[in-house]
Structure 1
């Protein structure tokens, strides 16, 4: 089974490198559906996985100067307290109970659907916001909206481990349409590091992290991400995102059914 986990980590890492979509939307459903891992353990293990891999990405973006730290701080003001409160809620209600596991399963499905929307309609959303500059937020309203978005993402990520990738990047584009694409990617990864770390610590506290599984996934994913990143320019992005969106839609439907 360990070899299977390593291969799965490699496959997900390759897709992440090719498409830029966060691994949570791929890894958590994979663990739940294919390997029968309980939803709470799948979420906890994936959060620990994400905190390690995103930390490496943040270091690279920091060296390139593609992180908007003020935006990262605003997102964290909302996301980190939300993650802590959500963890306490899971502890109070019992994250390993069957009923809570089913809620987490539905949360994963909902997050996957949101990721599909972000993948398919991101360019249209960007075009709309650029065509209506009067709808763009500024000053205090923009700061409040960023903190609120961070809180929503904090809840979503802690419950389902999904949201810090495609959904977070899409929100950044809508709130900061003039931010360069590289800075969107760097900022999205940077704020997700403390968020996934706190959420992962919370799931460790709840006892819902499989450390052997985590190690196997990391062994496979790190070379996969490298390979995918190197091959990204050779594969049509539109084709890849279409296949990925279709796959995620089927996954979400399977989770609900």
Structure 2
């Protein structure tokens, strides 16, 4: 069990640093496959592990001046509102429905990464409309975080680039910073509802933190379009595998 948690954390942590996501979109299916967690327990454990991973990842990007602190703070306001709602949905929705929502999110993001090029541009001035948009993004990010056990980076990073004009590296660093309060806000109600083991989350989180440094290093070396396409391909593979396992389980 401990080995499965450590390997899951290492894989998720590397991808977290590399792609600017929490790593949950990979850790959740790995926890289901290797640690034999159900969707609900896997999502809650992944979200707890994202707390230390996102802290270290954000600080690493910040050391290279690749974090927009104001944008992250505004998004965090919405995320703190959305995360407890997502955690509640995780507790009350049927496991199968949560799983298919997770699969759908992975497919949509995989298609976007594989077939839509980099649309980032110069930063836009901060105004009332932009602030409202960032808070709305945070709410969506928080709901997805609490319900699916992801940090929300797969939602935030592309929106930061296409809608708010952040460069790929800046979008990744800002996404990781915004995830910190998001993951905390989602983990607290999960802990109170007794659906997450902080011990399991800590084991996954320690491995993820150690591996995240390598992911960040690779992110600064590879072209943004290459890393995006690699991530898109990985998400598609994970989505197909998760869907297959869900259908197979239903038949059995």
Specify whether residues 31 and 48 from structure 1 end up closer, same or farther in structure 2 by C-alpha distance, changes over 3 A only. Answer: same
Alignment match, 1:215: 202
Distance 2:112 2:229 in 1: 16
Alignment match, 1:144: 132
Alignment match, 1:41: 41
Deviation at 1:16, TM superposition (A): 3.9
Which of the residues 101, 104, 127 maps onto 2:98? 104
Deviation at 1:115, TM superposition (A): 3.0
1:99-129 Cα offsets, whole Å, 9 max, x none, are 63233222322232233234324525x17xx
SS of 2:94 mapped into structure 1:
helix
Which of the residues 172, 176, 187 maps onto 2:164? 176
Note if 1:155 corresponds to 2:143.
yes
Alignment match, 1:77: 77
Distance 2:35 2:227 in 1: 29
Distance 1:39 1:216 in 2: 18
Specify whether residues 244 and 191 from structure 1 end up closer, same or farther in structure 2 by C-alpha distance, changes over 3 A only. Answer: same
Specify whether residues 109 and 230 from structure 1 end up closer, same or farther in structure 2 by C-alpha distance, changes over 3 A only. Answer: same
SS of 1:59 mapped into structure 2:
helix
Specify whether residues 41 and 60 from structure 1 end up closer, same or farther in structure 2 by C-alpha distance, changes over 3 A only. Answer: same
Distance 2:58 2:18 in 1: 18
Larger radius of gyration: 1
The one of the two structures with greater contact order (alpha-carbon pairs below 8 A, sep at least 6) is 1
Deviation at 1:165, TM superposition (A): 1.6
Distance 2:22 2:114 in 1: 15
Q: Is the 8 A contact 2:74 2:131 kept in 1?
A: yes
Distance 1:255 1:38 in 2: 12
Distance 1:81 1:242 in 2: 29
SS of 1:37 mapped into structure 2:
coil
1:53-84 Cα offsets, whole Å, 9 max, x none, are 10112233344443222222321232211223
Distance 1:3 1:163 in 2: 23
Deviation at 1:207, TM superposition (A): 1.0
- Where does the alignment leave 5 or more consecutive residues of structure 2 unmatched? 248-252
TM-score normalized by the length of structure 2: 0.81
TM-score normalized by the length of structure 1: 0.79
Which of the residues 233, 237, 247 maps onto 1:247? 237
Deviation at 1:194, TM superposition (A): 0.3
Distance 1:165 1:218 in 2: 17
Deviation at 1:230, TM superposition (A): 4.2
Q: Is the 8 A contact 1:108 1:162 kept in 2?
A: no
- Where does the alignment leave 5 or more consecutive residues of structure 1 unmatched? none
SS of 1:209 mapped into structure 2:
coil
Alignment match, 1:205: 192
Specify whether residues 59 and 11 from structure 1 end up closer, same or farther in structure 2 by C-alpha distance, changes over 3 A only. Answer: closer
